[in-house]
Amino acid sequence: MKHLTPILVSASLLLLAVSLLPGPAELSAWQVITALLGQGDAQARIIVQEIRLPRSLAAFVTGAALAMAGATLQGLLRNPLAEPGVLGVTAAAIFGATLALYFGFAAPLFAVPASAALGALAATLLISFAAISIKRTSTLILFGIGLSSFIGALMSVLLVLSPTPFTLAEMVNWSFGSVANRSLQDILFASPFLIAGTILCLLSGRGLTFLTLGEEIASVSGLDIRRHRLLAVGGAGLLTGGAVAIAGGIGFVGIVAPHIVRPLTGHDPGRSLVPSALLGGCLLLLADLLLKTVPLFGALRLGVIASLIGAPVFVWIALQEGRHR
């Protein structure tokens, strides 16, 4: 689809604008516009600039990061069911955050997001070393599944041994995922991880396209498979760490967005990276809009809504893949 990216950019800007309207305080569209421009009522400026805009940006950036990471991993592993959690990076990031909460390090500013980013970085480094030595991508998937299961077991230990009910609640809330009460500082803190991850994923785009022909043909064509894996895995890991540092655990965006975009880009994984990111941001913005506008969903977390929408789509994709094989 020739104009896919401009259409998704326009849709993203429209959804960002619409997401600033709903909330406990009723504001008109004109009040929102004037508040964004730094004019009008002081209370409206605080609500829009310090509460609604950071929340919407956090949802969009998180969805975009997870979707680009998912598109990268799907291209690398040539598996439409791959997503950021498949290699254990999401689990490691959540574990890092809950570890900080367990030991009471939540008080210092950015302590929990920093721990999430460090957890993701540690897992990314581990997987990157594995990607250099492992010859087959299928083995890399098994390595990631094993790492994710091990970290999940460690998470269970932390939850069981939680020192106080308050700490337990905080740990569970972080693992569910949310962009409520996020600030621009939270996004800025995660931006180095997000920028570095985006650059690495984009650099891997040409290799992802070559890999559609198979690893052997790609290697004969001059593609450095190990270097390419390092770029793709490192980029996806950094993006996932940045996303978890902002919003906690959010699932399925990394599967759904690339799957929708893939047919529109001629099934070229290299060309699907940017459109997938834009669509992922839109999808998570829509999920957050449901939280803010539908009373039934008001008490739920963003990660729960994303899973309620994404899990059936994941099952449908899996069934479709099973029929084609």
Identify the pLDDT of residue 23.
85
Residue 33 resides in a domain? no
How many domains does the chain fold into? Answer: 1
CB 88 within 8 A of CB 144: yes
Cα–Cα distances in angstroms (integers) from residue 161 to residues 78, 148, 157, in the given order: 40, 20, 6
Residue 32 resides in a domain? no
CATH of residue 205? 1.10.3470.10
**42 band by pLDDT with thresholds 50, 70 and 90:** confident
Quick one: average pLDDT of 123-129?
Answer: 81
Q: Of 221-225, 292-296, 297-301, 309-313, which range is least confident?
A: 297-301
- Residue pLDDT, tens place only, 73-88: 888 888 777 788 777 8
Give the count of beta carbons closer than 10 Å to the beta carbon of residue 110: 14
The angle that helices 4-19 and 273-293 make with each other, rounded to 10 degrees, is 20
Quick one: average pLDDT of 296-322?
Answer: 74
Q: How far is Cα 198 from Cα 64, in angstroms, rounded to an integer?
A: 10
- Which amino acid does the sequence have at 54? P
Identify the pLDDT of residue 57.
96
Residue 49 resides in a domain? no
Residue 13 resides in a domain? no
Residue 243 resides in a domain? yes
Domain that holds residue 130: 56-324
* Higher pLDDT pick, 61 / 320: 61
Tokens representing 77 are 């592993």
Residue 29 resides in a domain? no
Identify the pLDDT of residue 176.
84
* Higher pLDDT pick, 63 / 132: 63
Residue 218 resides in a domain? yes
Residue 313 resides in a domain? yes
Query: DSSP assignment, residue 269?
Result: T
> Which pTM was predicted?
0.89
- Which amino acid does the sequence have at 27? L
- Residue pLDDT, tens place only, 231-278: 988 898 889 888 988 998 888 898 889 989 998 998 899 999 999 999
**325 band by pLDDT with thresholds 50, 70 and 90:** low
Identify the pLDDT of residue 294.
79
Quick one: average pLDDT of 136-165?
Answer: 84
Q: How far is Cα 1 from Cα 124, in angstroms, rounded to an integer?
A: 33
